[in-house]
Chains A and B, each alone.
Chain A
Amino acid sequence: MALYLGYTLIVYVVLFSLWGSLEAPPWVLGYLWAAEALYMGVPRFWSQLHQEARMGELALRLALPYPFVLLRFQRYLATALLQVPWVVAVGGAVIWALGLPASLSLWSLPALTLGLILNFLLELTFALLTFRSTSPIALGVLLEMLRLLGGAVVLPLEFWPGSGALLLLQPLAATFYLPARVAAGGEPVWLLVTLGWILVFLGLLARLFPRALAALSERGEV
């Protein structure tokens, strides 16, 4: 945990030093604070699921008398609820140490919670879609890059050409950008988009999950 927070500290120092030295709109620092909290705080579990499938543990978990997805969500949420507040605290400490003006609105809590939920669904979908992958390291690098870019974690969409209108149409923006933007004083109604994507992914998972299990079953892994 100390190492994880140490790395978070470095990321915040770099980001806030850069944006704090620019004449950027006042909400930007708050946005980066929230976006990084979400990005750094969410647990990554897709490769763990792959490993569990390979080792046969997934079969055991599926045999438990609880819904597998809810059980996984519970574990995810427990880790996230431990990590995200710590990351927020580290960000706040860096802001204070560098003497920068940044704040988060009261809407941060529901906004970050919705971001957490959507991220869980995205991660699970990604895991189910990539069970056949032979190069997990490469996939991991690309997924992180997609999160950073598509989620506009280091560069808010307002600074993209055409205000990043196209990027707004994809789910990563609803996972990171919109919740962080609301946390930094944006319109709370934007969270409806995140909510919409949550419903879309719930529907998608309902179809995908049985198919992924059938594919694993064919390979004798569940």
Chain B
Amino acid sequence: MEAWSRWFRVWPPLLRSRFLEAWQEPLGFWASVLARVVNNSLWLLVFYLFFLRFPEVRGFRFEDLVLTWAMAFGAFGLLQTLWGGVLGLARLAETGELEVHLPVPVPLLPYLLSLRLQPTGLGDLLWSLSVLALLGVNWFYALCALVGASLVALGFFLALASTSLWGLKVQNLLPVAYAGLVQFATWPPSVYKPTIKVLLLSLIPAFWLGPLPARAVVEGSGLAALWGFGLGFLILGSLAFWLGLRRYIAPGG
């Protein structure tokens, strides 16, 4: 319990130091943020042109797509800003660097998750919040859905990265999984065949990151299910981490 209260005291300065680390080169920082903003906006432009020609894709319209993108990139941005360390966890385990962090006097998992802040993630988050402001959504629903969706993403990547503690080499798989999840989470969900839809609602939880949070914001319902699924994935990921850590042997040690 004491370790947790210490953690809550340490977390804000830790986040601040990660931010300052990223800020070391302000030009590079802003370039990374701006690159994401431009990238996401240009993609929306492509889709705008697409929807000019095909106004509705099986009931899915451009407005739905904009909200889906805002939710998905908001969730990914939140993940990379607050818990970006999850994407480096497999590298720590596979190189043995994890051992250096084991004796920290705060709870290990949240500490490891806070080890990295990606400016590109901050760019995604800022872009998402700007789009949500432009859309004039209900902020309570939107923020609840964003946090719920980022919990899903965190749980998924934690579970995946934790397999490296079990001896699997997943370090190179993580960027591909990230990019794949982004693809599936941001394109119209109504076009997939039923088997793919089932997959995207379960093992590869892409629909929980974009389309379902977007629907929750519009309808104001489904937030409990989103949070429930997110917490479930997070528990699964945490279990994989702790059980893996028990049997973890660092390379060469």
Interface residue ranges, A against B (CB under 8 Å): 3-4, 6-7, 10-11, 13-14, 17-18, 20-22, 98, 134-135, 137-139, 141-142, 145, 148-149, 154-155, 159-161
Contacts and interface: CB of A to CB of B under 8 A. Distances in A.
A145 B39 contact: yes
Contacts of B173: 3
Contacts of B184: 10, 14
Contact of B32 (A3, A137, A145, A148): A137
B192 interface: yes
Interface in B24-63: 25, 27-28, 31-32, 34-36, 38-39, 42-43, 45-46, 49-50, 52-54, 57-58
Contact of B38 (A10, A18, A98, A145): A145
A21 B57 contact: yes
Interface in B51-78: 52-54, 57-58
A135 B32 contact: yes
B193 interface: yes
B57 A149 contact: no
Contacts of B25: 134-135
Contacts of B38: 141-142, 145
Contacts of B188: 18
A17 B192 contact: yes
A10 B35 contact: no
A6 B36 contact: no
| Size category, B interface | 35 or more
Contacts of A11: 183
Helix, strand, loop or mixed for chain B's interface?
A: helix
Nearest to A9: B180
Contacts of A21: 57-58, 190-191
Contact of A134 (B27, B46, B53): B27
A4 B196 CA distance: 20
Nearest to A5: B176
Contact of A138 (B28, B43, B192): B28
A18 B192 CA distance: 8
B162 interface: no
B180 A155 contact: no
A138, A155, A161 interface centre (most CB from chain B within 10 Å) = A138
A117 B46 CA distance: 26
B49 A161 contact: yes
B183 A10 contact: yes
A14 B187 contact: yes
B140 to A, nearest CB: 32
The residue among B25, B27, B176, B179 with the most chain A CB atoms within 10 A of its own CB is B176
A7 B68 CA distance: 21
24 contacts: A7-B176, A10-B184, A14-B184, A17-B192, A18-B187, A21-B190, A22-B54, A22-B57, A134-B27, A135-B27, A135-B31, A135-B32, A137-B28, A137-B31, A137-B120, A139-B31, A141-B36, A141-B120, A145-B38, A145-B39, A145-B42, A149-B42, A155-B49, A161-B49
